[in-house]
Amino acid sequence: MSDSAPPPIRPLPETVVNRIAAGEVLARPSNAVKELLENSLDARSTTVSVACAQGGLKMMQITDNGCGIAPEDFRFLCRRFATSKLKTYDQLQGGEVDTFGFRGEALASVSHVAHVSVTSRTAAGACAFRGTFRDGALLPIDAGIAPDLGGPEDPAPGEDVLQAYLTPTSGTQGTAITVEDLFYNVPARRQAFTNPRAEYVRILDIVSRYAVHYPGVAITCRQHGASRADLSTPGRLASPRQAIQAIYGAEVARNLHDIDIPRDTTGDLKVAVRGLFSAAESRFRNPVFFLFINNRAVSSPSLKRAVDTLYANLMLTAGGKSSFVYLSLTLPGAHVDVNVHPTKRFVNFLEEDRIVELIVSTMADRLQTENTARRFEVTPLGSPALDMAPSTPRASASGPRAPDTPSTPRTRPSSSISSQTSSPQFMVRNSSASQTLDSFLLRRGDLRAAAEPGTGAMVLDAPDTPSGQATGTPSTLLDTPTRGAPILLRSVRLLRQQCVAASHSDLLALVRESIFVGIIDGRRSLLQHGTRLMTFDHVRLAYELFYQQVLVQFSQLNTFEFDQPPSVRDLMLLVTSHGPLLESDVAASLADSLTAGHTSAEDLATKLAEVLLARASMLQAYFGIGIDEQARLTHLPVILPGHLPVLARLPIFLCRLAHHVPWAEESPCLEGLARELARFYAPDPRDITDAGGDAFARPLEQVVFPYIKSYLLPPEHLATDGSILQVASLPDLYRVFERC
Ligand SMILES: Nc1ncnc2c1ncn2[C@@H]1O[C@H](COP(=O)(O)OP(=O)(O)OP(=O)(O)O)[C@@H](O)[C@H]1O
Ligand SMILES: [Mg+2]
């Protein structure tokens, strides 16, 4: 209990209040650009150009040809809660606001954290006027002479008063707003922006959203002083697709599907949806997701998550990389609350879950039909046998084929497919439902007429969609991570580079183009590559995949939570007290520790648990392994969406972490942790008896193998250590049969 008197409650000084409020509206330069761009669109501009210096931090200028600002209104331009758009609160509640702005807060906020100058001319104005603003107020031209501008109830100031504040200047109709030295008076925030280029990319992202959604408006965005715009739409375009073509190119625009769900006038779900979305096989560099609700650019985490999950699942089989989705929802105004976030980034809308479901199921129908209908060819390799010798070191320019290099499956129009001639030794069946064996039996004449080996091509059905619950976004070591900024230590970067350098190009091609046939036993599976059948060691390949994925998703791993977190020490005790019974190197070395130091199993378990506890924050931040203050294991990472480790191996995993990882040095420690995680998550031949055949096979076939196929960069040693072996080759078998 404290005897001291409570500190007095006092209102904050106005400047502090305004700066705090400004900090909420403007988190970063792109927020300011969005506000200014929306003002230009509210002013019914048909041309808007954006120019930025140092990612908008040094300067941003937005110029439009809209209605302009009357000289007598300049005094309210940067005043908080002064607006020309909203008159009554009922308008907001009734959803009657059809402008982006309604609060009269954006320009005020900008003026509290930056230097603002505005030049504007109305249609009726004889010339343009320029004024400068600081902390919400219009500054007099000469600080010594400052006649009162009056308040909202006073009559508009006369010309004699205005001339002390505004400079007449030449200019066409419209407004140019210049914002300089953003966050000049909030040093902590200013210093947080260490990468102006990244801020400019965010600005480009937001400008391109509006450019797509407003194809009728000519919008450009450039770096200040650059002669070429980084983004430009000509205006007067008929559709968002044309705007996408102008920004992203014809190829992107051509390959987008339309979504058009009209408003159901009879049902209770009063939403209309229009938009465009890419095929599941698309290979854009970065994913794009633009959402507009009642013409406002907003975020909807639930819709984004649902769309991402849909694509993640379909892309596994279609070989896609990232998606392009533009959605525009129109809802009755009264169903949407736009006033829920300081940056207006989020809106609340009724029936969100059902609307998400409607959109995603409509997209899924279209994408799944396309996925099932896909036909692709299998191109036989030039050499009949896979050269398993280590590949010669590659020049960096010809590194392993990146997953975004088009590889099979390749799509072809079905007409061109049907005209293909195929020699039987290059025909492969991968589904009993798709083709009968008869089609493989050719008559003698056909055989002679068959094309030279290596020139035939055969049409196959695409494998079925895996049913793994893909929620994350794994990528290869060659991709830029898609989620928020990762913590990337130099040592992790080096480990990643080692994986890239060690990858084997022939194996990479083989893995990417192979089809999973089935599991032979706990260690081996069968794989079809063109006309050849291979066995592969799924334990080793999965181990490499998990190791690489831990590095790729370093510090960004999704996690799952234990309902009842077990005590780390109790888990360790399971090993230390029964260790010698376990057939494992960790058990052996623990047994040594027990006998050498005459430590009891309890003490040893406590010591091992303490090793992990001392590193709990690092384990959590970098690897998603959560240990709380009561030394309970709360979280484990989800390395591949839809895949969990076999928890029976959890105690031994924790012991190995504590005992085997070289904690003293950064790089070996991080590598050791990543490898231990990989060992724990990869299948173990013993799981097949513990878990039962189906429980072992299903995750392997439906989750692990598709990810191996799409994301693994196979290290060179897999080519020589017997991990992948050819067991049959159709052309060779034919040669044998022909001799018979
Ligand atoms: N480019 C422009 N062309 C014409 N008028 C403008 C322009 N930019 C701002 N204005 C005027 O300045 C006023 C204040 O703009 P500000 O962005 O601060 O508030 P708002 O748009 O009304 O509401 P919000 O804070 O929600 O954006 C607007 O209401 C509008 O009348
Ligand atoms: Mg505004």
| pLDDT value of residue 181 | 96
Is 201 in the same domain as 302? no
Rounded-to-integer distance, Cα 531 and Cα 727, Å: 11
Is 146 in the same domain as 192? yes
Is the Cβ–Cβ distance between 520 and 713 less than 8 Å? no
Tell whether 414 is covered by a domain.
Answer: no
Rg (CA), the chain: 32
Burial pattern 591-601, b for ≥16 Cβ within 10 A else e, equals: eebbeeeebeb
Tell whether 538 is covered by a domain.
Answer: no
Q: What is the CATH number of the domain that holds 347?
A: 3.30.230.10
Is 85 in the same domain as 45? yes
Is 211 in the same domain as 262? no
Is the Cβ–Cβ distance between 723 and 715 less than 8 Å? no
Query: If we measure between CA atoms, which residue out of 652, 690, 705 comes closest to residue 542?
Result: 705
Atom 27 in ligand 1: residue holding the nearest Cα = 101
Residue 414, C-beta contacts closer than 8 angstroms, at least 6 positions apart: 375
DSSP annotation of 100 reads S
Is the Cβ–Cβ distance between 338 and 97 less than 8 Å? yes
Q: What is the CATH number of the domain that holds 88?
A: 3.30.565.10
Query: If we measure between CA atoms, which residue out of 462, 375, 373 comes closest to residue 709?
Result: 462
| pLDDT value of residue 428 | 44
DSSP annotation of 267 reads S
Is the Cβ–Cβ distance between 110 and 26 less than 8 Å? yes
Is 214 in the same domain as 270? no
Rounded-to-integer distance, Cα 449 and Cα 634, Å: 66
Is 574 in the same domain as 668? yes
Residue 461: strand pairing partners? 375
CA distances from 184 to 289, 561, 568, 605 (A): 32, 43, 49, 54
Structure tokens at 488: 């990337």
Of all helices (H) and strands (E), which one includes residue 637?
strand 633-638
Let me know the angle formed at the C-alpha of 643 by 638 and 644, rounded to the nearest 5 degrees.
70
Q: Where in the sequence is the domain holding 568, given as residue range(s)?
A: 558-638+647-682
Ligand 1 pocket test, pick from 107, 113, 120, 178 with the greatest ligand atom count within 8 Å of Cβ, gives: 107
Residue 334, C-beta contacts closer than 8 angstroms, at least 6 positions apart: 93, 94, 95
Tell whether 412 is covered by a domain.
Answer: no
Rounded-to-integer distance, Cα 496 and Cα 716, Å: 15
Tell whether 282 is covered by a domain.
Answer: yes
Q: What is the DSSP string of 576-607?
A: HHHGGGS-SHHHHHHHHHHHHTT--HHHHHHH
DSSP annotation of 622 reads H
Question: How far is C-alpha 331 from the chain's CA centre?
Answer: 27
Last residue of a domain, which of 373, 407, 432? 373
Tell whether 535 is covered by a domain.
Answer: no
Atom 17 in ligand 1: residue holding the nearest Cα = 106
Is 131 in the same domain as 218? yes
Please name the amino acid found at residue 241: R
Structure tokens at 2: 């404290």
| Biggest alpha carbon–alpha carbon distance for the chain | 109
- Count CB neighbours of 311 within 10 A: 28
Tell whether 208 is covered by a domain.
Answer: yes
Which residues surround ligand 1 with Cβ inside 6 Å? 35, 39-40, 43, 64, 66-69, 77, 83-85, 101-108, 175
Residue 729: strand pairing partners? 532
Of all helices (H) and strands (E), which one includes residue 322?
strand 322-330
Last residue of a domain, which of 315, 342, 373? 373
Rounded-to-integer distance, Cα 42 and Cα 641, Å: 43
Structure tokens at 538: 């799924």
Rounded-to-integer distance, Cα 100 and Cα 80, Å: 16
Ligand 1 pocket test, pick from 26, 40, 83 with the greatest ligand atom count within 8 Å of Cβ, gives: 83
Query: How far away, in angstroms, is 508 Cα from ligand 2 center?
Result: 52
> Is beta strand 283-293 parallel, antiparallel or unpaired with respect to 296-297?
antiparallel
| pLDDT value of residue 302 | 82
SS3 73: helix
Residue 24, C-beta contacts closer than 8 angstroms, at least 6 positions apart: 342, 343
Residues with beta carbon < 5 A to ion ligand 2? 39, 101, 106
Is 50 in the same domain as 193? yes
pLDDT-flagged residues of the chain (< 70): 1, 23, 92-96, 316-320, 338-348, 370-488, 579-598, 689-693, 731-740
SS3 144: coil
Residue 485, C-beta contacts closer than 8 angstroms, at least 6 positions apart: none
Question: How far is C-alpha 431 from the chain's CA centre?
Answer: 34
C-alpha torsion angle, residues 475, 477, 480, 486 (rounded to 10) = 90
Phi/psi class of residue 478: alpha, beta or left (left: φ > 0; alpha: ψ in -120 to 50)?
alpha
| pLDDT value of residue 52 | 97
Domains identified in the chain, total number: 3
Q: Please list the alpha-helical segments (H only) found in 395-437.
A: 414-418
Is 133 in the same domain as 214? yes
Is 64 in the same domain as 157? yes
Query: How far away, in angstroms, is 101 Cα from ligand 2 center?
Result: 4
Is 142 in the same domain as 189? yes
Structure tokens at 505: 């190009």
> Ligand 1: which atom is nearest the Cα of residue 86?
22
Is the Cβ–Cβ distance between 613 and 568 less than 8 Å? yes
Phi/psi class of residue 598: alpha, beta or left (left: φ > 0; alpha: ψ in -120 to 50)?
left
Rounded-to-integer distance, Cα 655 and Cα 633, Å: 13
Is 89 in the same domain as 133? yes
Is the Cβ–Cβ distance between 735 and 557 less than 8 Å? no
Specify burial of residue 177 (Cβ count, 10 A radius: 0-12, 13-18, 19+): buried
Is the Cβ–Cβ distance between 528 and 709 less than 8 Å? no
Tell whether 86 is covered by a domain.
Answer: yes
Ligand 1 pocket test, pick from 33, 42, 46 with the greatest ligand atom count within 8 Å of Cβ, gives: 42
Last residue of a domain, which of 373, 407, 438? 373
| pLDDT value of residue 167 | 95
Query: If we measure between CA atoms, which residue out of 666, 475, 670, 627 comes closest to residue 553?
Result: 475
Structure tokens at 190: 């200013």
| pLDDT value of residue 463 | 26
In SS3 terms, 329-386 reads as EECCHHHEECCCCCCCCCCEECCHHHHHHHHHHHHHHHHHHHHHHCEEEECCCCCCCC
Q: Helix crossing, 616-623 with 601-614: angle to 10°? A: 60
Tell whether 309 is covered by a domain.
Answer: yes
Q: Helix crossing, 196-213 with 240-248: angle to 10°? A: 150
Query: How far away, in angstroms, is 167 Cα from ligand 2 center?
Result: 24
Residue 487, C-beta contacts closer than 8 angstroms, at least 6 positions apart: 554, 555, 621, 622
C-alpha torsion angle, residues 603, 681, 399, 460 (rounded to 10) = 170
> Ligand 1: which atom is nearest the Cα of residue 66?
3
